[in-house]
Amino acid sequence: MDRRTSIKWMMAVAAAMQSLQLQAGDAAARDVSASQAGYGSDPNLMKEWHPGGPWPLTLSENARLTTAALCDLIIPADDMSPAASAVGVVDFIDEWVSAPYPQQRADREVILPGLIWIEAEALKRFGKAFPAVSDAQRAAIADDICAPAKATAEFASAAKFFAKFRDLTAGGFYTTPVGMKDIGYTGNVPHTKFEGPPLEALKKAGLA
């Protein structure tokens, strides 16, 4: 990020911190147009679709960096698969919060203030932007907000945001070929016969 946008972002974050208002600022995203059309009731199902195709992406560069850091905190690389940001989840979340449909517009009202909040929280606790803090520092914030039922009143809104962000991250990740392989989906392959469950699966369920 260039210095100018960086300062703008930090000022927005600082303002949010001061007012403790979880309002989406200009720095998190460009406005979505109220008249933005969707893909219509007869979209071409045979062409390649990509985020940014059916409607413009709106997250700011900084908000995308925060999104990347947060979705990789939720789905980091491990022995089975890479981190969420490596398979297009940031583009996907941007597509989701920029979409013109009621569900996505409602989610935008949770996600954008949440991104601002988490930046403010990193700044408050560690004096740095969220993407710049250490893994342990990110975890310290996440530990306070990852379990909605256990979150204190102070973190209740942030926990709601985190749960929604985690759902989007998981959906974005596990729908990709990499994510499907990780979770153990072995279908979508033509077969001449359907063999039914293997014996070891039946045994595990006490059925053989």
Partner 1 sequence: MEGARVLMLEAGRNYTPATETPMMQVNSQGPLRGSGTPEKPFGFWDATIDGGWQVPGEPYSSASDDPARQFVWWRARMLGGRTNHWGRISLRNGPYDFKPHSRDGLGFDWPMSYEDLAPYYDKVEMLIGVYGENDDMENTPNSPAGVLLPAPKPLVSDLYFKKHAAKLGVPAIAGHRAVLTTQLDHTRLPKLLHPGNAKAQKILAADMQKRAACFFATPCGRGCSIRANYQSTTVHLPPALDTGNLDIVTDAMVRAITKRADGSAEGVVYIDRKTGAEHRVKARIVVLAASALESVRIMLNSGVANSSGKVGKYIMDTVGAGFGGQVPVLENMPLHNEDGVDGLHLYTPWWLYKEQLAGKLGFARGYHIEFGGGRDMPNMGTAMGLEWLNGGNYGKKFKEDARRYYGSFFYMSGRGEMIPNDDCYAEIDPNLKDKFGIPVLRFHWKWSPHEIGQAAHMEKTFKDVLDAMGGRYSRQPQSGEKAIKQGGIIIHEVGGAMMGNDPTKSVTNSYGQCWDMKNLFITDGATLCSNADKNPTLTIMALAWRASDHMLNLMKRKEL
Of 28-47, binders to partner 1 (CB under 8 A) are 38-43, 45-46
Residue 57 sits in the site that holds partner 1 (CB under 8 A): no
Positions 85 through 104 that interact with partner 1 (CB under 8 A): 88, 92, 95-96, 99, 101-104
CA distance 182 to 196: 22
8 Å CB contact between 164 and 111? yes
- Nearest approach, Cβ of 96 to partner 1 (angstroms)? 6
Contact flags string 102-131 toward partner 1, x per CB under 8 A? xxx---------------------------
Closer Cβ to partner 1, 3 or 205, answer by number? 205
CA distance 36 to 206: 53
- DSSP designation for 31: P
User: Side-chain half-sphere of 86: how many Cα atoms within 13 Å?
Assistant: 13
Please give the torsion angle defined by the CA atoms of residues 11, 65, 100 and 103, in that order, rounded to the nearest 10 degrees: -100
8 Å CB contact between 73 and 152? no
Question: What is the total count of residues that contact partner 1 (CB under 8 A)?
Answer: 74
Positions 147 through 206 that interact with partner 1 (CB under 8 A): 147-150, 159, 162-163, 166-167, 170-172, 174-177, 179-180, 182-198, 200-202, 204-206
